[in-house]
Amino acid sequence: MVVFGLLAIVLLGAIGATVLLANDYRNLNRLLARFGYDPVAVTPQTRALRPYEMKGNRVPRAKGLIPERLLTPVTPMQTRFVRTIRKAPEMLCEALRRSGFETAGWKAGLFDQQSWECQSYREFPDANDGTNPPSSAFLSIRGNAETRVSSFRIKLNIENTATQNRVTDAVIAAIEVFLDEVRWEEAPDIFTDIRALKEFDIIRFGNRIQLKKEFSETPRYNFIITPDRTRNRGSYLPDYFDRGRWLPLPDKL
């Protein structure tokens, strides 16, 4: 009990001393003044300021020169937009059938059930063909799914130059039907080249359109529309995703 009593006295004394000596002896001076004693004089201690506490004129904050733009100027191009063939394939085949290319409809491929196709073969006979085969055109539409077209192709076989115009006119009519069905713009420039059997290879809206001549004695040409595979996958995203086209930042900001 004596020990606990001493601990209680020490604890109460510490608390009382803290209360009396707090705020520069303010409570102690009040107590002394109440009993008629002089207050305890307190002289504030002064110390030298540390280097980081020195006050003075601040150094102005450094200013950086930031360019107005961080990208090189890019001229918009039509090929930034990719046009896909969204027309229902069976309706496209039916429209081509009405234009003169008979087809068996949109069906799964014979050798690959994962691919779908629609094909047509059309001849252009002439009285002067003799024993030679007549000029012809082979149309093929392919897709990598039942509801998606991935390529459009027409092969022109000019066996008799006398029927060349008939072949090219029929091919152009089929291409016009295709462009109208998929809601693409007309292309009179390629029609002129097809009529003249002039080769071309152009890229529009992410698709490659070309007319190529085969290496053979008989004039044979392939008109093909396929997605443009000359660019890397995903390269149709805006150029601001390409870090290689960013302007370098200045060394000092």
Burial (CB count <10 Å: 0-12, 13-18, 19+), residue 9: exposed
Q: How far apart are CA 167 and CA 195, in angstroms?
A: 9
Collapsing DSSP to helix, strand or coil, 101 comes out as coil
Q: What pLDDT is recorded for position 157?
A: 93
Residue 70 lies in a domain: no
Q: What pLDDT is recorded for position 86?
A: 55
Q: What angle do CA 228, 204, 222 make, to 5 degrees?
A: 65
Residue 248 lies in a domain: no
Q: Is the pLDDT of residue 156 over 90?
A: yes
Convert the pLDDT of each residue in 2-53 to its tens digit. 777 777 777 777 777 676 667 767 777 777 777 777 776 666 667 776 666 6
Residue 175 lies in a domain: yes
Together in a domain, 93 and 209: yes
Together in a domain, 129 and 199: yes
Residue 195 lies in a domain: yes
Together in a domain, 128 and 192: yes
Residue 180 lies in a domain: yes
Residue 139 lies in a domain: yes
Residue 151 lies in a domain: yes
Using pLDDT thresholds of 50, 70 and 90, give the confidence band for residue 80.
Answer: very low
Convert the pLDDT of each residue in 84-136 to its tens digit. 555 577 788 888 888 888 887 777 777 666 678 888 899 998 888 888 899 99
Convert the pLDDT of each residue in 170-216 to its tens digit. 999 998 888 877 666 666 678 889 999 999 988 876 778 899 999 88
Together in a domain, 29 and 128: no
Together in a domain, 140 and 35: no
Write out the two tokens for 130: 């003799």
Contacts of 46 (CB under 8 A, 6+ apart): none
Q: Are 140 and 118 in contact (CB under 8 A)?
A: yes
Together in a domain, 97 and 35: no
Together in a domain, 29 and 135: no
Together in a domain, 99 and 20: no
CA 242 to chain centre: 10
Q: Are strands 107-108 and 207-213 parallel, antiparallel or unpaired?
A: unpaired
Q: How far apart are CA 93 and CA 117, in angstroms?
A: 9
Q: How far apart are CA 226 and CA 210, in angstroms?
A: 9
Residue 62 lies in a domain: no
Together in a domain, 27 and 107: no
Counting the structural domains of the chain, the total is 2
Together in a domain, 212 and 135: yes
Q: 208: domain range?
A: 89-227
Q: How far apart are CA 247 and CA 66, in angstroms?
A: 11
- Residues facing 118 on adjacent strands: 141
Q: Which residue is listed with tokens 């006050």?
A: 55
